[in-house]
Protein backbone atom coordinates (compact mmCIF):
# COMPACT_ATOMS: atom_id res chain seq x y z
CA UNK A 1 0.00 0.00 0.00
CA UNK A 2 1.25 3.42 -0.86
CA UNK A 3 2.37 5.25 2.29
CA UNK A 4 3.83 8.28 0.60
CA UNK A 5 1.94 11.17 -0.87
CA UNK A 6 1.97 14.88 -1.39
CA UNK A 7 1.46 17.58 1.20
CA UNK A 8 -1.76 19.50 1.60
CA UNK A 9 -1.74 23.06 0.21
CA UNK A 10 -0.46 25.57 2.69
CA UNK A 11 -2.93 28.01 4.18
CA UNK A 12 -2.23 31.69 4.08
CA UNK A 13 -0.98 33.38 7.25
CA UNK A 14 -3.00 36.01 9.03
CA UNK A 15 -0.79 39.09 9.17
CA UNK A 16 -2.77 40.39 12.13
CA UNK A 17 -2.40 37.31 14.31
CA UNK A 18 -1.28 37.82 17.88
CA UNK A 19 2.15 36.91 19.13
CA UNK A 20 2.07 33.45 20.74
CA UNK A 21 2.50 33.23 24.51
CA UNK A 22 3.37 29.52 24.34
CA UNK A 23 6.18 27.81 22.39
CA UNK A 24 5.27 27.10 18.79
CA UNK A 25 4.64 23.50 17.80
CA UNK A 26 7.60 22.38 15.67
CA UNK A 27 5.24 20.76 13.14
CA UNK A 28 3.40 24.00 12.42
CA UNK A 29 0.41 23.63 10.09
CA UNK A 30 1.29 19.98 9.48
CA UNK A 31 0.69 19.00 13.10
CA UNK A 32 -1.41 15.84 13.22
CA UNK A 33 -1.85 15.68 16.99
CA UNK A 34 -5.34 15.47 18.54
CA UNK A 35 -4.55 15.20 22.24
CA UNK A 36 -5.90 18.33 24.00
CA UNK A 37 -2.86 18.37 26.29
CA UNK A 38 -0.62 18.97 23.28
CA UNK A 39 -2.59 22.10 22.32
CA UNK A 40 -2.46 23.31 25.91
CA UNK A 41 1.33 23.16 25.81
CA UNK A 42 2.15 24.41 22.28
CA UNK A 43 0.86 27.25 20.09
CA UNK A 44 -0.71 26.36 16.72
CA UNK A 45 -1.50 29.63 14.91
CA UNK A 46 -1.54 28.06 11.43
CA UNK A 47 -3.63 25.15 12.62
CA UNK A 48 -6.16 27.55 14.12
CA UNK A 49 -6.49 29.32 10.77
CA UNK A 50 -6.84 25.99 8.96
CA UNK A 51 -9.53 24.85 11.34
CA UNK A 52 -11.48 28.09 11.01
CA UNK A 53 -11.24 28.07 7.22
CA UNK A 54 -12.08 24.40 6.95
CA UNK A 55 -15.08 24.71 9.21
CA UNK A 56 -16.91 27.03 6.85
CA UNK A 57 -16.39 24.62 3.96
CA UNK A 58 -18.23 21.75 5.68
CA UNK A 59 -21.88 21.77 4.62
CA UNK A 60 -24.35 21.88 7.48
CA UNK A 61 -25.89 18.62 6.31
CA UNK A 62 -22.63 16.86 7.18
CA UNK A 63 -22.96 17.72 10.86
CA UNK A 64 -24.95 14.83 12.32
CA UNK A 65 -27.71 16.10 14.54
CA UNK A 66 -27.19 19.74 13.52
CA UNK A 67 -30.50 21.41 12.95
CA UNK A 68 -32.47 18.17 13.38
CA UNK A 69 -36.05 18.91 14.34
CA UNK A 70 -36.89 15.25 14.87
CA UNK A 71 -35.13 11.93 15.29
CA UNK A 72 -34.82 9.66 12.26
CA UNK A 73 -34.84 6.11 13.56
CA UNK A 74 -33.50 3.07 11.78
CA UNK A 75 -35.95 0.16 11.70
CA UNK A 76 -33.81 -2.84 10.93
CA UNK A 77 -34.09 -6.47 12.03
CA UNK A 78 -30.31 -6.77 12.07
CA UNK A 79 -30.05 -3.85 14.51
CA UNK A 80 -32.75 -5.33 16.71
CA UNK A 81 -31.04 -8.72 16.83
CA UNK A 82 -27.41 -7.71 17.19
CA UNK A 83 -27.52 -4.17 18.60
CA UNK A 84 -24.74 -3.27 16.15
CA UNK A 85 -24.68 0.08 14.33
CA UNK A 86 -22.50 2.50 12.45
CA UNK A 87 -22.63 6.14 13.46
CA UNK A 88 -24.51 8.01 10.77
CA UNK A 89 -22.68 10.81 8.99
CA UNK A 90 -25.29 12.99 7.31
CA UNK A 91 -25.18 13.09 3.53
CA UNK A 92 -23.54 9.66 3.08
CA UNK A 93 -25.10 6.39 1.91
CA UNK A 94 -25.11 3.27 4.11
CA UNK A 95 -27.01 0.91 1.78
CA UNK A 96 -29.37 -0.37 4.44
CA UNK A 97 -26.81 -0.84 7.20
CA UNK A 98 -28.15 0.08 10.66
CA UNK A 99 -27.02 3.58 11.66
CA UNK A 100 -27.52 5.86 14.64
CA UNK A 101 -26.38 9.22 16.05
CA UNK A 102 -25.37 10.26 19.54
CA UNK A 103 -28.48 12.37 19.96
CA UNK A 104 -30.61 9.36 19.10
CA UNK A 105 -28.79 7.30 21.72
CA UNK A 106 -29.48 9.94 24.38
CA UNK A 107 -32.99 10.86 23.21
CA UNK A 108 -35.77 10.92 25.85
CA UNK A 109 -37.84 8.46 23.79
CA UNK A 110 -35.49 5.78 25.17
CA UNK A 111 -36.67 6.48 28.71
CA UNK A 112 -36.25 8.84 31.63
CA UNK A 113 -32.51 9.07 32.23
CA UNK A 114 -31.45 9.55 35.85
CA UNK A 115 -27.65 9.12 35.73
CA UNK A 116 -24.85 8.22 33.31
CA UNK A 117 -21.15 7.44 32.94
CA UNK A 118 -18.92 8.17 29.94
CA UNK A 119 -15.65 6.24 29.63
CA UNK A 120 -13.33 7.68 26.99
CA UNK A 121 -9.91 8.86 25.86
CA UNK A 122 -10.77 12.42 24.77
CA UNK A 123 -13.55 14.72 25.93
CA UNK A 124 -14.94 18.01 24.67
CA UNK A 125 -17.10 18.52 27.75
CA UNK A 126 -19.10 21.52 26.51
CA UNK A 127 -19.97 19.67 23.30
CA UNK A 128 -20.81 16.46 25.17
CA UNK A 129 -23.22 18.25 27.50
CA UNK A 130 -24.98 19.76 24.47
CA UNK A 131 -25.63 16.27 23.08
CA UNK A 132 -27.75 15.42 26.10
CA UNK A 133 -31.36 16.62 25.86
CA UNK A 134 -31.99 19.76 27.89
CA UNK A 135 -33.81 17.97 30.75
CA UNK A 136 -30.86 15.59 31.21
CA UNK A 137 -27.98 18.09 31.21
CA UNK A 138 -27.97 18.65 34.96
CA UNK A 139 -28.17 14.95 35.88
CA UNK A 140 -25.22 13.22 37.59
CA UNK A 141 -22.51 12.39 35.03
CA UNK A 142 -19.20 10.65 35.67
CA UNK A 143 -16.32 11.02 33.18
CA UNK A 144 -13.69 8.25 33.28
CA UNK A 145 -10.56 9.39 31.46
CA UNK A 146 -6.85 8.63 31.11
CA UNK A 147 -4.84 10.31 33.85
CA UNK A 148 -1.30 9.77 32.55
CA UNK A 149 0.34 12.37 30.30
CA UNK A 150 -2.66 14.61 29.79
CA UNK A 151 -4.96 17.16 31.39
CA UNK A 152 -8.25 15.98 32.88
CA UNK A 153 -11.34 17.13 30.98
CA UNK A 154 -12.42 20.59 32.09
CA UNK A 155 -15.80 20.22 33.77
CA UNK A 156 -15.49 23.25 36.07
CA UNK A 157 -18.69 24.80 34.68
CA UNK A 158 -20.77 21.74 35.52
CA UNK A 159 -21.25 20.94 39.22
CA UNK A 160 -23.14 17.75 38.31
CA UNK A 161 -20.09 16.27 36.53
CA UNK A 162 -17.50 14.24 38.40
CA UNK A 163 -14.21 12.92 37.00
CA UNK A 164 -12.23 9.76 37.57
CA UNK A 165 -8.69 9.35 36.24
CA UNK A 166 -7.77 5.78 35.30
CA UNK A 167 -4.52 4.45 36.72
CA UNK A 168 -2.15 3.97 33.76
CA UNK A 169 0.43 1.50 35.04
CA UNK A 170 3.00 1.69 32.21
CA UNK A 171 4.48 4.39 29.94
CA UNK A 172 2.84 4.83 26.53
CA UNK A 173 -0.44 3.45 27.87
CA UNK A 174 -3.78 5.22 27.68
CA UNK A 175 -7.37 4.98 28.80
CA UNK A 176 -8.75 4.12 25.37
CA UNK A 177 -12.02 2.43 26.40
CA UNK A 178 -15.19 3.99 24.99
CA UNK A 179 -18.30 3.00 26.90
CA UNK A 180 -21.48 4.49 28.36
CA UNK A 181 -23.67 3.48 31.27
CA UNK A 182 -27.14 4.97 30.83
CA UNK A 183 -29.29 4.43 33.92
CA UNK A 184 -33.00 4.97 33.33
CA UNK A 185 -35.93 5.00 35.69
CA UNK A 186 -36.94 1.61 34.26
CA UNK A 187 -33.62 -0.02 33.40
CA UNK A 188 -30.00 0.22 32.29
CA UNK A 189 -28.32 0.37 28.89
CA UNK A 190 -24.65 -0.35 28.24
CA UNK A 191 -23.11 1.15 25.12
CA UNK A 192 -19.67 0.17 23.79
CA UNK A 193 -18.30 2.11 20.83
CA UNK A 194 -15.21 3.52 19.08
CA UNK A 195 -15.61 7.33 19.13
CA UNK A 196 -13.91 9.95 21.27
CA UNK A 197 -16.26 12.48 22.81
CA UNK A 198 -15.31 15.19 20.34
CA UNK A 199 -17.48 16.53 17.49
CA UNK A 200 -15.31 15.41 14.55
CA UNK A 201 -15.44 11.79 15.68
CA UNK A 202 -19.24 11.83 15.58
CA UNK A 203 -19.85 14.17 12.66
CA UNK A 204 -17.29 13.15 10.06
CA UNK A 205 -15.86 9.68 10.74
CA UNK A 206 -16.85 6.05 10.48
CA UNK A 207 -17.47 4.63 13.95
CA UNK A 208 -19.01 1.44 15.31
CA UNK A 209 -21.35 0.99 18.24
CA UNK A 210 -23.02 -1.80 20.18
CA UNK A 211 -26.06 -0.98 22.31
CA UNK A 212 -27.39 -3.45 24.83
CA UNK A 213 -31.09 -4.09 25.28
CA UNK A 214 -32.55 -2.10 28.14
CA UNK A 215 -31.77 -4.30 31.13
CA UNK A 216 -34.56 -4.43 33.72
CA UNK A 217 -34.07 -4.66 37.44
CA UNK A 218 -33.90 -8.31 38.48
CA UNK A 219 -37.11 -9.55 40.07
CA UNK A 220 -35.62 -12.48 41.98
CA UNK A 221 -32.33 -13.65 43.44
CA UNK A 222 -31.65 -16.34 40.81
CA UNK A 223 -28.74 -16.10 38.39
CA UNK A 224 -29.44 -13.11 36.16
CA UNK A 225 -26.13 -12.93 34.32
CA UNK A 226 -26.08 -13.63 30.59
CA UNK A 227 -25.03 -16.98 29.15
CA UNK A 228 -21.89 -15.16 28.00
CA UNK A 229 -21.09 -14.03 31.58
CA UNK A 230 -21.17 -10.43 30.40
CA UNK A 231 -21.94 -8.93 33.80
CA UNK A 232 -19.28 -10.95 35.58
CA UNK A 233 -16.66 -9.98 33.00
CA UNK A 234 -17.72 -6.32 33.07
CA UNK A 235 -17.35 -6.23 36.85
CA UNK A 236 -13.91 -7.85 36.55
CA UNK A 237 -12.96 -5.13 34.07
CA UNK A 238 -14.21 -2.33 36.33
CA UNK A 239 -12.34 -3.77 39.30
CA UNK A 240 -9.19 -3.46 37.16
CA UNK A 241 -9.28 0.31 37.71
CA UNK A 242 -8.06 -0.40 41.23
CA UNK A 243 -9.11 0.31 44.77
CA UNK A 244 -8.75 4.07 44.23
CA UNK A 245 -11.61 4.15 41.73
CA UNK A 246 -14.19 4.56 44.48
CA UNK A 247 -16.77 6.22 42.25
CA UNK A 248 -16.99 3.02 40.20
CA UNK A 249 -17.71 0.89 43.26
CA UNK A 250 -21.30 2.17 43.39
CA UNK A 251 -21.75 1.23 39.75
CA UNK A 252 -20.28 -2.23 40.33
CA UNK A 253 -22.85 -2.76 43.07
CA UNK A 254 -25.63 -1.42 40.84
CA UNK A 255 -24.79 -3.79 37.98
CA UNK A 256 -25.59 -6.72 40.24
CA UNK A 257 -29.18 -5.50 40.53
CA UNK A 258 -30.00 -5.81 36.81
CA UNK A 259 -31.04 -8.76 34.66
CA UNK A 260 -28.38 -9.31 31.96
CA UNK A 261 -29.87 -12.43 30.39
CA UNK A 262 -30.81 -10.70 27.13
CA UNK A 263 -27.18 -9.86 26.31
CA UNK A 264 -25.71 -12.27 23.75
CA UNK A 265 -22.19 -10.93 23.18
CA UNK A 266 -18.93 -11.60 24.98
CA UNK A 267 -16.84 -8.83 26.53
CA UNK A 268 -13.20 -8.60 25.40
CA UNK A 269 -11.31 -6.12 27.58
CA UNK A 270 -7.78 -4.90 28.22
CA UNK A 271 -6.67 -3.53 31.59
CA UNK A 272 -3.39 -1.68 32.13
CA UNK A 273 -1.07 -4.01 34.06
CA UNK A 274 0.69 -7.40 34.00
CA UNK A 275 -1.66 -10.35 34.22
CA UNK A 276 -0.55 -13.86 35.16
CA UNK A 277 -1.71 -16.98 36.93
CA UNK A 278 -5.51 -17.32 36.90
CA UNK A 279 -5.76 -13.87 35.24
CA UNK A 280 -3.52 -14.76 32.27
CA UNK A 281 -6.47 -15.23 29.92
CA UNK A 282 -8.75 -12.56 31.40
CA UNK A 283 -7.71 -9.68 29.17
CA UNK A 284 -6.14 -8.70 25.85
CA UNK A 285 -5.54 -11.03 22.94
CA UNK A 286 -5.40 -14.08 25.22
CA UNK A 287 -9.00 -13.38 26.26
CA UNK A 288 -10.01 -13.46 22.59
CA UNK A 289 -7.99 -16.64 22.08
CA UNK A 290 -9.72 -18.40 24.96
CA UNK A 291 -13.18 -17.51 23.64
CA UNK A 292 -12.39 -18.66 20.09
CA UNK A 293 -10.79 -21.87 21.31
CA UNK A 294 -13.92 -22.73 23.28
CA UNK A 295 -16.01 -22.90 20.10
CA UNK A 296 -17.00 -26.19 18.49
CA UNK A 297 -16.65 -24.71 15.01
CA UNK A 298 -13.16 -24.09 13.68
CA UNK A 299 -13.07 -22.22 10.34
CA UNK A 300 -11.03 -23.90 7.59
CA UNK A 301 -7.62 -22.39 6.70
CA UNK A 302 -9.08 -20.91 3.51
CA UNK A 303 -11.08 -18.41 5.57
CA UNK A 304 -9.48 -14.97 5.86
CA UNK A 305 -8.68 -13.17 9.09
CA UNK A 306 -9.23 -9.42 8.70
CA UNK A 307 -8.20 -6.66 11.08
CA UNK A 308 -9.23 -3.02 10.63
CA UNK A 309 -8.07 -0.15 12.85
CA UNK A 310 -7.14 3.53 13.00
CA UNK A 311 -3.65 3.39 14.53
CA UNK A 312 -0.58 1.16 14.27
CA UNK A 313 2.02 0.70 16.98
CA UNK A 314 5.54 -0.69 16.98
CA UNK A 315 5.19 -4.40 16.20
CA UNK A 316 8.83 -5.49 15.90
CA UNK A 317 11.54 -5.81 13.27
CA UNK A 318 9.92 -8.90 11.72
CA UNK A 319 6.32 -10.13 11.52
CA UNK A 320 7.12 -13.18 13.65
CA UNK A 321 8.13 -10.99 16.59
CA UNK A 322 4.46 -10.56 17.51
CA UNK A 323 1.99 -10.14 14.66
CA UNK A 324 2.07 -13.53 12.91
CA UNK A 325 2.91 -15.53 16.02
CA UNK A 326 1.48 -14.28 19.28
CA UNK A 327 -1.33 -12.08 17.95
CA UNK A 328 -2.33 -14.17 14.93
CA UNK A 329 -2.26 -17.26 17.13
CA UNK A 330 -4.95 -15.72 19.31
CA UNK A 331 -7.05 -14.71 16.29
CA UNK A 332 -6.82 -18.30 15.04
CA UNK A 333 -8.45 -19.93 18.04
CA UNK A 334 -7.78 -23.69 17.80
CA UNK A 335 -6.54 -23.76 14.22
CA UNK A 336 -4.77 -21.57 11.66
CA UNK A 337 -5.75 -17.94 11.17
CA UNK A 338 -5.43 -18.34 7.40
CA UNK A 339 -4.40 -15.35 5.32
CA UNK A 340 -4.11 -12.20 7.42
CA UNK A 341 -5.30 -8.94 5.86
CA UNK A 342 -5.02 -5.59 7.64
CA UNK A 343 -7.14 -2.62 6.56
CA UNK A 344 -5.66 0.84 7.02
CA UNK A 345 -6.23 3.96 4.87
CA UNK A 346 -3.56 5.04 2.42
CA UNK A 347 -2.74 8.68 1.69
CA UNK A 348 -5.23 8.78 -1.19
CA UNK A 349 -8.01 7.50 1.07
CA UNK A 350 -7.24 10.27 3.56
CA UNK A 351 -7.02 12.97 0.88
CA UNK A 352 -10.44 12.00 -0.49
CA UNK A 353 -12.11 11.89 2.93
CA UNK A 354 -14.61 14.48 4.13
CA UNK A 355 -11.85 16.15 6.16
CA UNK A 356 -9.11 15.88 3.57
CA UNK A 357 -5.61 15.60 5.01
CA UNK A 358 -6.85 16.70 8.43
CA UNK A 359 -8.35 13.22 8.80
CA UNK A 360 -4.80 11.96 9.22
CA UNK A 361 -4.94 13.32 12.75
CA UNK A 362 -7.19 10.42 13.76
CA UNK A 363 -5.06 7.83 11.93
CA UNK A 364 -1.65 7.94 13.66
CA UNK A 365 1.13 5.81 12.19
CA UNK A 366 4.40 7.71 12.37
CA UNK A 367 7.05 7.60 9.68
CA UNK A 368 9.55 6.62 12.37
CA UNK A 369 7.53 3.52 13.27
CA UNK A 370 6.75 2.66 9.64
CA UNK A 371 10.44 2.78 8.71
CA UNK A 372 11.18 0.18 11.39
CA UNK A 373 8.63 -2.32 10.08
CA UNK A 374 8.52 -2.11 6.26
CA UNK A 375 7.39 -5.75 6.19
CA UNK A 376 3.92 -4.63 7.32
CA UNK A 377 3.14 -3.36 3.81
CA UNK A 378 2.67 -6.97 2.70
CA UNK A 379 -0.41 -7.26 4.89
CA UNK A 380 -2.03 -3.85 4.31
CA UNK A 381 -5.21 -3.26 2.32
CA UNK A 382 -6.94 0.00 1.49
CA UNK A 383 -10.05 1.28 3.25
CA UNK A 384 -13.16 0.89 1.09
CA UNK A 385 -16.67 1.15 2.51
CA UNK A 386 -19.01 1.89 -0.39
CA UNK A 387 -21.19 4.94 0.12
CA UNK A 388 -19.53 5.97 3.38
CA UNK A 389 -15.90 5.50 2.33
CA UNK A 390 -15.30 9.25 2.67
CA UNK A 391 -15.97 9.12 6.41
CA UNK A 392 -12.46 8.36 7.67
CA UNK A 393 -12.40 5.07 9.60
CA UNK A 394 -11.96 5.49 13.33
CA UNK A 395 -13.78 2.17 13.86
CA UNK A 396 -11.76 -0.89 14.95
CA UNK A 397 -12.96 -4.37 14.03
CA UNK A 398 -11.60 -7.88 13.57
CA UNK A 399 -13.31 -10.83 11.89
CA UNK A 400 -12.94 -14.21 10.19
CA UNK A 401 -14.69 -14.44 6.83
CA UNK A 402 -15.17 -16.99 4.08
CA UNK A 403 -13.21 -16.56 0.81
CA UNK A 404 -16.37 -15.39 -0.99
CA UNK A 405 -17.05 -12.73 1.69
CA UNK A 406 -20.52 -14.16 2.37
CA UNK A 407 -20.04 -15.70 5.82
CA UNK A 408 -18.44 -14.59 9.08
CA UNK A 409 -17.33 -17.05 11.76
CA UNK A 410 -17.03 -14.28 14.36
CA UNK A 411 -16.84 -10.51 14.60
CA UNK A 412 -15.22 -8.22 17.17
CA UNK A 413 -15.98 -4.51 17.56
CA UNK A 414 -13.44 -2.90 19.87
CA UNK A 415 -11.50 0.20 20.81
CA UNK A 416 -8.23 -1.74 20.40
CA UNK A 417 -5.95 -0.69 17.56
CA UNK A 418 -3.11 -2.79 16.14
CA UNK A 419 -0.59 -2.44 18.95
CA UNK A 420 1.00 -4.36 21.79
CA UNK A 421 -0.11 -1.56 24.11
CA UNK A 422 -3.74 -2.37 23.33
CA UNK A 423 -3.63 -6.16 23.05
CA UNK A 424 -0.69 -7.04 25.29
CA UNK A 425 2.48 -9.05 24.78
CA UNK A 426 3.72 -12.08 26.67
CA UNK A 427 6.63 -11.59 29.07
CA UNK A 428 8.53 -13.59 31.72
CA UNK A 429 8.73 -16.80 29.68
CA UNK A 430 5.12 -16.34 28.53
CA UNK A 431 3.75 -16.51 32.08
CA UNK A 432 2.39 -12.95 32.08
CA UNK A 433 0.59 -10.73 29.59
CA UNK A 434 1.69 -7.09 29.85
CA UNK A 435 -0.93 -4.59 28.69
CA UNK A 436 -0.35 -0.83 28.72
CA UNK A 437 -3.82 0.50 27.93
CA UNK A 438 -7.47 0.12 28.84
CA UNK A 439 -9.58 -1.14 25.93
CA UNK A 440 -13.04 -2.62 25.52
CA UNK A 441 -14.90 -4.52 22.83
CA UNK A 442 -17.72 -6.99 22.19
CA UNK A 443 -17.41 -10.34 20.41
CA UNK A 444 -20.27 -11.71 18.31
CA UNK A 445 -20.44 -15.51 17.93
CA UNK A 446 -23.25 -16.85 15.69
CA UNK A 447 -24.20 -19.67 18.08
CA UNK A 448 -25.08 -17.10 20.75
CA UNK A 449 -27.89 -15.80 18.56
CA UNK A 450 -29.06 -19.11 17.07
CA UNK A 451 -27.88 -22.32 18.72
CA UNK A 452 -27.46 -24.25 15.46
CA UNK A 453 -25.53 -21.50 13.68
CA UNK A 454 -21.77 -21.71 13.09
CA UNK A 455 -21.50 -18.56 11.00
CA UNK A 456 -23.48 -15.45 10.11
CA UNK A 457 -24.45 -14.44 6.61
CA UNK A 458 -23.13 -11.10 5.40
CA UNK A 459 -24.69 -8.53 3.09
CA UNK A 460 -22.69 -5.38 2.44
CA UNK A 461 -20.78 -6.01 5.64
CA UNK A 462 -23.96 -6.40 7.72
CA UNK A 463 -25.09 -9.54 9.55
CA UNK A 464 -28.32 -10.87 8.01
CA UNK A 465 -28.75 -14.32 9.55
HEC string for the chain:
CCCCCCCCCCCCCCCCCCCCCCCECCCHHHCCCCCHHHHHHCECHHHHHHHHHHHHHCCHHHCCCCCCCCCCCCCCHHHHHHCEEEECCCCCCCCCCCEECHHHHCCHHHCCEEEEEEECCCECHHHHHHHCCHHHCCCCEEEEEECCCCCCCCCCCCCCEEEEEECCCCCCCCECCCEEEEEECCEEEEEEECCCECHHHHHCEECEEEECCCECECCCCCCCCCCCCHHHHHHHHHHCCCCCCHHHHHHHHHHCCECCCCCCCEEEEECCEEEEHHHCCCCHHHHHHHHHHCCCCCCCCCCEEEEECCCECCCCCCHHHCHHHHHHHHHHCCCCCCCEEEECCCHHHHHCCCCHHHHHHHCCCCHHHHHHCHHHHHHEECCCCHHHCCCEECCCEEEEECCCCCEEEEEEEECCCECHHHHCEEECCCCEEEECCEEEEEEECHHHCCCCCCCEEEECCEECC
* Per-residue pLDDT at 149: 64
pLDDT of residue 348: 97
Domain boundaries, the chain: 18-57, 297-463
**394 assigned to active site:** yes
Looking at residue 456, what is its pLDDT? Answer: 74
- Residue 14: per-residue pLDDT: 38
pLDDT, tens only, 365-421: 999 999 999 999 999 999 999 999 999 999 999 999 999 999 999 999 999 999 999
The pTM of this model reads 0.84
Q: What is the pLDDT of residues 228-282, one digit of tens each?
A: 999 999 999 999 999 888 999 999 999 999 999 999 999 999 999 999 999 999 9
pLDDT at 45: 60
Q: From the candidates 44, 167, 176, 388, which is the catalytic residue?
A: 176
Q: Residues forming the annotated binding site for substrate?
A: 178, 396
**Residues of the chain whose pLDDT is less than 50?**
1-20, 32, 34-38, 47-72, 74
**Could you confirm whether domain 297-463 is CATH 3.30.870.10?**
yes
176 is catalytic: yes
Model pLDDT, residue 201: 98
pLDDT computed for residue 383 by the predictor: 97
* Residue 7: per-residue pLDDT: 34
pLDDT (0 to 100) of residue 5: 36
Note the pLDDT of residue 42. 60
Amino acid sequence: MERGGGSPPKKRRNSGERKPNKPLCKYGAKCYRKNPAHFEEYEHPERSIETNEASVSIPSNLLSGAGESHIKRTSNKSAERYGLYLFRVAGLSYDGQPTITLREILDPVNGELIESVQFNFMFDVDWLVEQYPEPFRSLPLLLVYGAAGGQPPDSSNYPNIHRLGAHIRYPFGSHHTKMMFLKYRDGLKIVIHTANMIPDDWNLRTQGIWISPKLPLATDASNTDSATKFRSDLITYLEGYGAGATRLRTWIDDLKLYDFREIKVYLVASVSGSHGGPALHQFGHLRLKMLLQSRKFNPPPSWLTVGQFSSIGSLGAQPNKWLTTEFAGSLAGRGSCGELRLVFPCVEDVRNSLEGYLAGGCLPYTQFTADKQPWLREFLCRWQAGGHSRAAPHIKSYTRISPDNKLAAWFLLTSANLSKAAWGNLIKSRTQLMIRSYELGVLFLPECFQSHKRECQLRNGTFTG
